[in-house]
Each structure stands twice: as structure tokens, then as C-alpha cells.
């Protein structure tokens, strides 16, 4: 395939390309990687802090007795 034709095809492909929408969840696990909580699946534009606040409202003392590591 001639180089010019290859460029034309590439331009057509890139024009049709749309960014993929991502999905994400809040996940809590133990140090041995056992999952103990899997939150709702939300679209990628949601902030992690908003997702955590929906799953665990901050007005309740959820994690006072345990050591929590946040990534």
C-alpha cells in the first residue's frame, strides 16, 4: 500500500475514534487481597471521594475501630 494511501486510511480511522467511557468501583480488601467490599459501578467522571461518601456517609463513624489504608 502506498504511503499516501496509508496516511489517508489512518486519518479516516482517527476521525472515527472516540474516547472510551471508563467505569470504576470502590473496592476494599484485606492485606491478603480478599475483597470485603465492592461498591456500586459508576462512570469514570465521578470523583473517588464522592463515591466513598455515597457508600459510607461521613456523618457515621465507620472506621473508628480499624486501621484504614487509602490508595
Q: What is the pLDDT of residues 2-30, one digit of tens each?
A: 777 777 777 776 666 666 778 899 898 88
pTM of the model: 0.58
3-state helix, strand, coil in the chain (%, to 5): 30, 15, 55
Helix H or strand E segment including 14: helix 3-16
Whole-number average pLDDT of the chain: 81
Of all residues in the chain, what percent carry a pLDDT higher than 70? Answer: 87
More confident residue, 20 or 61: 61
Amino acid at each position: 500500500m502506498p504511503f499516501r494511501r496509508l496516511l489517508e486510511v489512518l486519518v479516516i480511522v482517527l476521525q472515527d475514534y472516540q474516547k472510551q467511557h471508563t467505569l470504576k468501583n470502590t473496592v476494599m480488601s484485606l492485606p491478603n487481597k480478599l475483597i470485603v467490599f465492592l461498591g456500586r459501578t459508576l462512570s469514570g467522571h465521578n470523583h473517588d471521594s464522592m463515591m466513598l461518601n455515597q457508600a459510607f456517609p461521613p456523618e457515621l463513624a465507620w472506621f473508628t475501630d480499624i486501621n484504614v489504608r487509602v490508595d
